[in-house]
Amino acid sequence: MFKDNKKPEDNNKFNKNKFKYMIYYAIAVILVVYLINDYIVNTGSKQIKYTNFINMVSQKQVKEVKFTKDKIIIYPNKDTEYGDKILYTGRLEEDKEVLDRLNKSNVAYDQVIPKQDGPIRSFIFNGLLPFLLLMMIGRFFFGRIDKKLGSGVMSFGKNTAKIYAENETGVTFKDVAGQEEAKESLVEIVDFLHNPQKYSQIGAKLPKGALLVGPPGTGKTLLAKAVAGEAKVPFFSLSGSSFVEMFVGMGAARVRDLFKQAQEKAPCIIFIDEIDAIGKSREGNISGNDEREQTLNQLLAEMDGFDSSKGVVILAATNRPEILDKALLRPGRFDRRVIVDRPDLKGREEILKVHSKGVKISDTVDLNSIAKSTPGAVGADLANIINEGALRAVKNNREEVIQEDLEEAVEIIIAGKEKKDRILSGKEKRAVAFHEVGHALVAALLTHTDPVHKITIVPRTMGALGYTMQLPTEEKYLTTKEEMFDQICVMLGGRAAEEVEFKSISTGASNDIEKATETARSMVTIYGMTDRFDMMGLESMSNRYLDGRRATNCSEQTVAEIDEETLKIIKAAHKKSIQVLEENKDLLTKIAVRLLEKETIMGEEFMSLVKGEENDSMESIEEFDTNK
C-alpha cells in the first residue's frame, strides 16, 4: 500500500502558504527594525550610580544634563574618562538639591519633552506588533502539537492524513486466489463502476455498499483493491479504528471529508477496514461512546446522502458481522454480504501459486502437499510461508526454494522457529518423547483419525517442546461424532503415555487438555451429540471469524449439567487412550527410543514401525457411553 500524502487542494494550499509566508516575513522585518532602533538608542550610553553623578557634577566633569520622566541623561566633558559617551542615572526624588548643585557647577540643564508617537507608529508598536508576536508564538506551539498527533488540531476536520488514496491499485482479480464466490459477487460492482450509465438508463439501482465478512488475513483488503484495480478507479481507504481515537467530533469530520474527496474523484471505491470499530451495535451499550456514535451517524448520513449513480461504491470489511449495528445493514447501505472465508485445499494451493510467482522455486516443489499440510491457514499465512521458505533458501545459499524450505516454513508458522539451544535434561527429553509418541500411537491405532505426518522433539520458539503433526488425507467439511471422540483420545494420548510409562504426570499436557475440553464441550453444547441433551442448542458462537468465543443460552442448572456431560466424554477418552497404550506398551517404548535417537520421525517411518508390530488384538473402538 503506498501512501498518498498529496492533498487534492494542493493548488489552493500553495496560495495559502504564500500568504502565510508573507506575514511571517513582515513580522521578521518589523522585529529587526524594532531591535535595531533599540540598539541605536542604547548604544554608547552607560548607566552610572547617582553618587557618581553628584561627584562628577561637583568635580565639574559634566557639560550638560537633561531630565526625562525617570532618567537624568548626562553629557560629560570630553576630557573625562567617559569621552564621548552619554551617561544616565535614575532620578532620585529624595535629592531636592540637584538643581542647586548643577547651578553651583555651571551645568546647563533642561527637561526633555516626551516625543508624541504618531498614530501609525503607536498602532504598530502597541497594537499590531504584540498581536503578531502572540500569533507567531501560538502557531509555533500548536504547530508542534500538530505534528506530534499527526493530524491538524488547528485545521480540524480538513485533515486528510489518515486517508490512504491510490489512483491505481494495480491489483486485479488474478492476484486474489481461492475466493471464487467472493469474486463472482464483486464482478457486478466492477461492471457498474466501468459503466454506471448502463445501469442508470434502465433504472437499476446498485447497492451502495458491500460488506466483506471473514477471518483476518483472508484477503478482504486485497479483494477491495482488486475491485478498484479491475475497474481502474481510485481507491480510498480508511480503518474504522482510526476514526475512533482522539477527540469527539474528529471521526465524524473524517467521514465527511472522506466522502467529499471520494465524490470529487468518482467513480471510485471507498474501503473501510474494521468497520465494527465504528459500527458496533448501539443496543445494550450502557456506557455509550459519543465519539463512535457520532461517527456512525455521520457515516449513515453520508451513505444515505450521496448519489450512487455517480459511481461511488463503499466496501467495508469486518470479522465480527454479528455485532454490527442493524442500521448499517439496512437496504441502501451495506445490504450485500460477501463471505471471504478460509480457503479450502484447492484455494490454498492457488494462493501458494500466486505468491510463488515472484520467487524462484524449484520444479520439484509440490505446492499441493504444502497446501495439504496447512488446513485452516489463511492467505496471509500462506504468503508468509512462501516468504519464510525463500528466506531459508537464501540462508542456505541456495538459488532456488526447495520443498524442504517450504516444509520448514510451515512449521515455523505453526510452532515457531527451531530452538536448538534449549537444553532439556535427559529425563525431560524422555518425557517429551513418550508424550509425543503417545499422541502419534493413539492416532495410528484408532480408526477415525488422520494419519501421522511427523513427530519431533526439537523445541520450537513458540513454546512447544515437541509436537506431533497429523495431516488429513483429504479436505473434510464434516466431522462425525466418532471422529471427534477419537480426536479427543489423540489429544489426551500424550498425557496417557506419560502415565503408562512413568506412572507420573507433568505439566506438559496443558494445551492438550484445553483443546480436548473445548472439543468435548462443543460436542455437548453445539453439535447435539449427547443423549442427555439430544439436539438442544446450548451455546452459540458469537465470534465465528475470530477466536470463536461462545455464549451460553441456557439456565445455570443446565450449565452445571453441561460440565458433567463434558467430563464424562473426557474421562471416557482418557480411559480409551490409556487402554490403547497399555496394550501396545512395547511399541510405545520402541518408537520413543527411536525418537530420542533421531529427534524427528516422519510419517512413513513411523507407520512401518507400527505395522511391524501391529497388535492384532486391538478390537474396534466401542462407543463411549454418556448415559451411565
To Zn ion, the closest distance from the beta carbon of 337 in angstroms equals: 39
Q: How far is the CB of 338 from ligand ADP (least distance, A)?
A: 11
178 binds ligand ADP (CB under 6 A): yes
| Nearest to 337, CA basis, from 217, 470, 190, 220 | 220
Gap between the Cα atoms of 220 and 430, Å rounded: 46
220 binds ligand ADP (CB under 6 A): yes
**Which of these ranges, 170-178, 407-415, 475-483, 529-537, lies near ligand ADP under the rule CB under 6 A?**
170-178
Q: How far is the CB of 210 from ligand ADP (least distance, A)?
A: 14
Please, where are the H alpha helices in 212-249? 220-231, 240-243
Rounded Cα distance, 452 and 149, in Å: 53
CB 466 within 8 A of CB 425: no
Instruction: Give the Cα separation of 610 and 105 in Å (integer).
Output: 128
Q: Which of the stretches 67-75, 214-222, 241-249, 391-399 binds ligand ADP when contact is defined by CB under 6 A? A: 214-222
166, 291, 293, 436: which one is catalytic?
436
| Residue 577 interacting with ligand ADP (CB under 6 A) | no
> Which member of 159, 221, 239, 577 binds ligand ADP (CB under 6 A)?
221
Q: Report which of 146, 145, 165, 149 is spatially closest to residue 245, judged by C-alpha positions.
A: 149
The item of Zn ion, ligand ADP, none sharing an interface with residue 220, based on CB under 5 to 8 Å by kind, is: ligand ADP
User: Using CB under 6 A as the criterion, what x/- string covers residues 285-324 for binding ligand ADP?
Assistant: --------------------------------x-------
Q: How many helices (H) and strands (E) does the chain have?
A: 22, 16
Q: How far is the CB of 614 from Zn ion (least distance, A)?
A: 23
Q: How many residues bind ligand ADP (CB under 6 A)?
A: 17
Cα gap 574→568, rounded to integer Å: 10
Q: Rounded to the nearest whole angstrom, what is the least distance from the CB of residue 326 to Zn ion in the complex?
A: 44
Grid cell digits, residue 181: 464466490
CA atoms of 233 and 266, how far apart (whole Å): 8
Cis before 267 (ω within 30):
yes
C-alpha separations of 379 from 128, 348, 477 in Å: 63, 7, 19
- How many other CB atoms are found less than 10 A from the CB of residue 451? 15
Q: Where are the alpha helices (DSSP H) in 195-306?
A: 196-202, 220-231, 240-243, 250-264, 276-279, 290-305
Angle at CA of residue 439, ends 437 and 443, nearest 5°: 110
**Residue 219, binding choice from ligand ADP, Zn ion, none, Cβ under 5 to 8 Å by partner class:** ligand ADP
> Binding of Zn ion at residue 494 (CB under 5 A)?
yes
Amino acid identity of residue 127, one-letter, is G
Task: State residue 358 phi and psi, 5-degree precision.
Answer: -85, 5
Given ligand ADP, Zn ion, none, residue 494, with its beta carbon under 5 to 8 Å by kind, binds Zn ion
* Residues in CB range of 50: below 8 A, 6 or more apart: 89, 90, 92, 95
Residue in 152, 229, 234, 379 binding ligand ADP, rule: CB under 6 A: 379
The CB-of-380 to ligand ADP minimum distance in angstroms stands at 4
Stretch that binds Zn ion, among 79-87, 150-158, 473-481, 511-519 (CB under 5 A): 511-519
With residue 213 as reference, give the H or E element that holds it.
Answer: strand 209-213
Of the pair 225, 453, the CB lying nearest ligand ADP is at 225
76 binds Zn ion (CB under 5 A): no
Angle between helices 585-598 and 603-612 (to 10 degrees): 150
Return the range that interacts with Zn ion (CB under 5 A); candidates 493-501, 536-544, 551-559, 591-599.
493-501
Q: Which amino acid type is present at position 159?
A: N
Binding flag, residue 196, Zn ion (CB under 5 A):
no
Residue 541, SS3?
Answer: strand
Measured from the CB atom, the residue of 282 and 346 that comes closer to ligand ADP is 346
Listed ranges 320-328, 351-359, 472-480, 491-499: which one lies at the site for Zn ion (CB under 5 A): 491-499
Cell representation of residue 182:
467472493
When asked if residue 493 is in the footprint of Zn ion (CB under 5 A), the reply is no
- Restricted to residues 222-241, the positions that interact with ligand ADP (CB under 6 A) are 222
Nearest Cα neighbor of 124 from 236, 26, 266, 12 is 26
Question: Rounded distance, CA 274 to CA 272, Å?
Answer: 7
Nearer to ligand ADP among residue 362 and residue 384 (C-beta): 384
Mapped onto helix, strand or coil, the DSSP state of residue 212 is strand
Q: Give me the residue label for grid cell 474523484.
A: 265
Among 89, 169, 218, 522, binds ligand ADP (CB under 6 A): 218
The set of cell numbers assigned to 589 is 517404548
Please report which residue ranges of 457-584 form alpha helices under DSSP H.
Answer: 481-502, 510-525, 556-583
Q: Least distance from C-beta 171 to ligand ADP, angstroms?
A: 9
Contact criterion met (CB below 8 Å) for 296 and 325: yes
Which position's Cβ is nearest ligand ADP? 379
* Minimum distance from residue 378 beta carbon to Zn ion (Å): 25
In three-state secondary structure terms, 222 is helix
3-state helix, strand, coil in the chain (%, to 5): 50, 15, 35
Least Å distance, CB 491 to Zn ion, is 7
Q: Any contact of residue 179 with ligand ADP (CB under 6 A)?
A: yes
- Region binding ligand ADP by CB under 6 A among candidate stretches 80-88, 175-183, 468-476, 510-518: 175-183
Site membership for ligand ADP, residue 351 (CB under 6 A): yes
Q: Nearer Cβ to ligand ADP, position 226 or 255?
A: 226
DSSP, res 593: H
Torsion on CA atoms 538, 539, 540, 546, rounded to nearest 10: -160
| φ, ψ of residue 134 in degrees (nearest 5) | -60, -45
Closer residue to ligand ADP, CB minimum distance, 71 or 353: 353
Residue 324 C-beta: closest distance to ligand ADP, Å:
16
Q: Which of 380, 413, 541, 607 binds ligand ADP (CB under 6 A)?
A: 380
Residue span binding ligand ADP (CB under 6 A) among the ranges 306-314, 320-328, 379-387, 459-467: 379-387
Question: Cβ of residue 604: shortest distance to ligand ADP, in angstroms?
Answer: 32
CB 236 within 8 A of CB 268: yes
| Residue 314 vs 457, nearer CB to ligand ADP | 314
Q: Which of 354, 410, 443, 570 binds ligand ADP (CB under 6 A)?
A: 354
Judged by beta carbon distances under 5 to 8 A according to partner kind, the member of Zn ion, ligand ADP, none in contact with residue 74 is none
379 binds, among ligand ADP, Zn ion, none (CB under 5 to 8 A by kind): ligand ADP
Residue type, position 5, single letter: N
Nearest residue to Zn ion by CB is 494
Q: Look up 436 and say whether it is catalytic.
A: yes
**Residue 383 binds which entry of Zn ion, ligand ADP, none, with Cβ cut-offs from 5 to 8 Å by kind?**
ligand ADP
Residues that bind Zn ion (CB under 5 A): 494, 512
Cite the active site residues. 436
Residues that bind ligand ADP (CB under 6 A): 176-179, 216-222, 317, 351, 354, 379-380, 383
